Amino acid sequence: MRPPQLLLAALLVALDAASARAQAVLSVGTASAGPGETASGVIAVPAGSDPGAEIPVSVVNGTKPGPILALVAGTHGYEYTSVVALPRVLQRLDPKRMSGAVILVHMANPPAFYERRVYRNADGKNLNRVYPGKADGSQTERIAFAIAREVIDKATHLVDMHCGDGNESLRPYSYWQISGDARLDAAGKELALAYGLDHIVIDRERPRDPAKSQYTANTAVLRGKPAITVESGGLGSTDEASVAAQEAGALSVIAQLGVQDLPSVRVEKPIFIDRWQVLTAPATGVWRWGVEKMQSVAEGTLVGRVHDASGKAVAEVRAPFAGEVLYVVATPPVTKGEPVAMIGRVLEGEPKP
Ligand SMILES: [Zn+2]
């Protein structure tokens, strides 16, 4: 019989080997990082009836196991703050000090970025409405399919990073999605608080069918992974305040998940928006907006008027209820049925999921 000390030593060696194995190589597209490594590469989206794409990604893989956070930038082509922020986030990450991993999707939609497209790709589709995508669909659907398989399926948590599109003047806020699953909803609230944007829109309207998840974050949630959508910046700008908020929020979520010790910007006094409406243009024409982002409006406040090209007013948009202007279209073109503003009502007291 072997002395107990030797048995114990053998057991410890075995346990050590098991924990060393637990953090495996993490591969996303061509980016493959072993424990303690950082790698960059691309997710190749093959060409179909229209051109393909190469989605640039980085993988930072810790030495110890833990959550795998996906940060998704640039879903919409004219939204730049997240695309500028993620390389800054990457510089702050040290895989030797990490438990878990971070997947950085630097630019989810390169064709829309390089073609400077607002809302939709050349196939007429909005990447944040076509999830879970299709392997044999058009360009936008194939991009969604690739991100769902390579990023969402490999992550445990996700932040989809947006701002106002090229035409939208927007105040910073996040969406906290209520799915009806108490564990996911509590974890989603923690992500939203950790991101540091004090206005949090409570979103109860996302589709519940995983085959028609539409949105990046909703696809993650319907696959059991806590996820939020965040908004900071707009109008095609890369102003430092909006970029810094994205960088600080991403680092704070990494800290909150225990992946790496980094500064927290957790919201202490959140302002929850429990009722909100996207107002749409009643007519196509030349928009003259009458409100600014962050402005409080009363019910009936004039949000803006649509004019014809000769300058005659043809329609107007008014606030349907009192609230905050979350964003307003602040460039002249408007098309009937498309958004011109989003108004949100501030919740008094604590939200009840
Ligand atoms: Zn967007």
125: closest CA among 113, 137, 136?
Answer: 137
- Residue 348 carries which side chain, given as an amino acid letter? E
CA of 215 to the centre of ligand 1 (A): 11
- What's the CA gap between 304 and 330, in Å, rounded? 10
CA of 99 to the centre of ligand 1 (A): 30
CA of 19 to the centre of ligand 1 (A): 40
CA of 346 to the centre of ligand 1 (A): 22
pLDDT tens per residue, range 221-235: 999 999 999 999 999
- What's the CA gap between 53 and 10, in Å, rounded? 51
Torsion angle (degrees, nearest 10) of CA 38, 41, 43, 47: 180
- Give the other-Cβ count within 10 Å of 154's Cβ: 15
Instruction: Name the least confident of 13-22, 242-251, 319-328.
Output: 13-22
Q: What pLDDT was estimated at residue 19? A: 47
Q: What pLDDT was estimated at residue 5? A: 55
Could you say which DSSP state residue 323 is in? E
- What's the CA gap between 169 and 164, in Å, rounded? 6
CA of 164 to the centre of ligand 1 (A): 6
Q: What pLDDT was estimated at residue 252? A: 98
CA of 294 to the centre of ligand 1 (A): 18
Predicted TM-score (pTM) of this structure? 0.93
Cβ partners under 8 Å of residue 310, min gap 6: none
CA of 235 to the centre of ligand 1 (A): 11
pLDDT tens per residue, range 275-316: 999 999 999 999 999 999 999 999 999 999 999 999 999 999
CA of 165 to the centre of ligand 1 (A): 6
Q: What pLDDT was estimated at residue 152? A: 98
CA of 113 to the centre of ligand 1 (A): 12
- At residue 183, φ and ψ (nearest 5 deg) are -65, -45
CA of 24 to the centre of ligand 1 (A): 33
CA of 170 to the centre of ligand 1 (A): 11
